[in-house]
Structure 1
Amino acid sequence: MSRLTSHTQHHNAVPLPISAEQPLYGRKPTSLFMQACLRLAIYAPLVAAMMSLVMHDAHHFGDVGFSEASWTEHMQSTLLALSAATMWLVHSRLPDLRTISLLLFGLFAASLIREQDALLDGMIGDGSWQFLVSVVAIPVIIGVWRNRSRFIAEFEHFGRSFAFGLFGAGFLATYVFSRLYGRSEFWETLMGDSYLRSVKNAAEEVTELFGYTLMAIAVIEIVLLAIRMGRQRRALLRELNAND
């Protein structure tokens, strides 16, 4: 038993399993409902603040609009930078979601680089963002693959969490829906002779920003999830030690 305890306390230990009958975090339905209401009270104003920046760009549609210099674009980069930095901190400091957070760090960092494609093309050269994305993505993928057993164990917890639902919604909104919604063919069919590429760009960028916002909120939930998992693991280890 002591060998098990020593192993699971190690920084790279695989999270301890939770039985199907055991509540994931041991909280009562009333407590979960109150926390859901608190989340709504916090996250709804964040979304409203995001839309106020979008409205600012709409008021300056003929000037800056939704170009690379817009608040919408700046907010996208800011959310990606904060999300990437937070996931790296989780990877470094909260070992219960060590490989999940590493993979998400790679996704956010690569997306941040991709968002700077125009700047990088001007400063370094055409297509330079692709090389930089590879520099980030390849080591991350290798690291996750080497720890794939741990990744699967972590996903047992992450896949059942509110954070995963939020992240999945944001991922689909950003990387699937916004790309299809922003197709020129769709907007040309919709607007006919009145087609304006700037309107198409606005719709795509705002949808993309909302997806990034959902994923940024998911990042907050991932931090909370990792903290709760750590507490639960330590409580279980104390119980195992007490029974040893």
Structure 2
Amino acid sequence: MLKKTIKPSAKGFKTAIIRFIVYGVIIYLAAEFLKWNVNHEMGQSKFTEDSVVETVQSIMLLACSLIYLRVSFKYKSMFPLAFGLFAFTFASLIREQDALLDEHIYDGAWQTAAFSLLILAAFLIYKKKDIFLSNMNDFVSKFSFGILLSGIFTTYIFARLYGRKVFWMAVMEAQYTRDVKNVSEESLELFGYALILIASVEFYYFAKAHSVIAVRDTEANRNQENVYLKVGS
């Protein structure tokens, strides 16, 4: 008797191709934006805290924060992890506004706001630590987690080290120009923020799938309990 063979599905391959195209376009647009910015911003305003690049970075962080905040309230089973990620990205957004907050509120205002939010997130995570750990166990094996780590390493570690003045002074020696250092560092940061934005989109779909599975498991357990009750009666 011939056994039926299961035909391999191309769904995973198609998803990979779509991701490659869509996310590749995002990275391409980020590079083209940097090129446009260099050609259109004038003199001393290039890649400074008042530049368009800084504004775009803030918009990316705001988009990430809104995605994580939406997930935290829409999918309750993911609340601790999603709110923690929201706190991280929104605290980063506050940090990007440090000059504005220091000027219009008080010196060090961004530290107060950012650390207050992070402390609140830590408190909420601690209260729901079992759910948080369960979320993390599922999250670490997902595509979103890898992209998120890549974005964090790029923006918060490598870009900071790469943008050190002592490094660029050694590279350019007597021809050292601060603008070159700023362009390199801010470009890397923008790339890192683009990765973090991609990770937040992937996290949304991960949370959506996780919620569907959680609901399905709950219904299965409820049906099983009903069967036991009927058998027992």
Q: What is the TM-score of this pair, normalised by structure 1?
A: 0.84
| Distance in 2, Cα, partners of 1:242 & 1:34 | 35
Where do 1:50-61 residues align within 5 Å? 50-59=30-39, 60=41
Match of 1:100 in 2: 81
User: Residue 83 of structure 1 contacts residue 105 of structure 1 at CA under 8 Å; is this kept in 2?
Assistant: yes
Match of 2:4 in 1: none
Where do 1:1-244 residues align within 5 Å? 30-59=10-39, 60=41, 62-243=43-224, 244=227
| Cα shift at 1:242 | 3.7
SS for the counterpart of 2:43 is coil
| Cα shift at 1:113 | 0.5
Of Structure 1 and Structure 2, which has the larger fraction of its residues in helix? Answer: 2
Can you give the 5+ residue segments of structure 2 that lack an aligned partner in the other structure? 1-7, 228-233
Identity score, percent = 31
| Cα shift at 1:142 | 1.0
| Distance in 1, Cα, partners of 2:163 & 2:139 | 31
What is the RMSD of the two structures over their aligned residues, measured on CA atoms?
1.5
| Cα shift at 1:61 | 5.5
User: Residue 77 of structure 2 contacts residue 131 of structure 2 at CA under 8 Å; is this kept in 1?
Assistant: no
User: Residue 57 of structure 1 contacts residue 64 of structure 1 at CA under 8 Å; is this kept in 2?
Assistant: no
| Cα shift at 1:63 | 4.8
The code of the aligned residue for 1:46 comes to I
The code of the aligned residue for 2:162 comes to Y
The code of the aligned residue for 1:223 comes to Y
| Distance in 1, Cα, partners of 2:104 & 2:168 | 32
The code of the aligned residue for 1:77 comes to S
SS for the counterpart of 1:126 is coil
Report how many residues are paired: 217
| Cα shift at 1:216 | 0.5
Write the deviation string for residues 66-122 of structure 1: whole angstroms up to 9, x where unpaired. Answer: 012222111110011111111111010112321111111110111001000111111
SS for the counterpart of 2:10 is helix
Change (3 A) 1:205 1:51: same
Write the deviation string for residues 102-150 of structure 1: whole angstroms up to 9, x where unpaired. Answer: 1111101110010001111111122221111122111111111222221
| Cα shift at 1:29 | 6.0
Q: What is the TM-score of this pair, normalised by structure 2?
A: 0.88
| Cα shift at 1:45 | 1.1
Q: Which has the larger radius of gyration?
A: 2
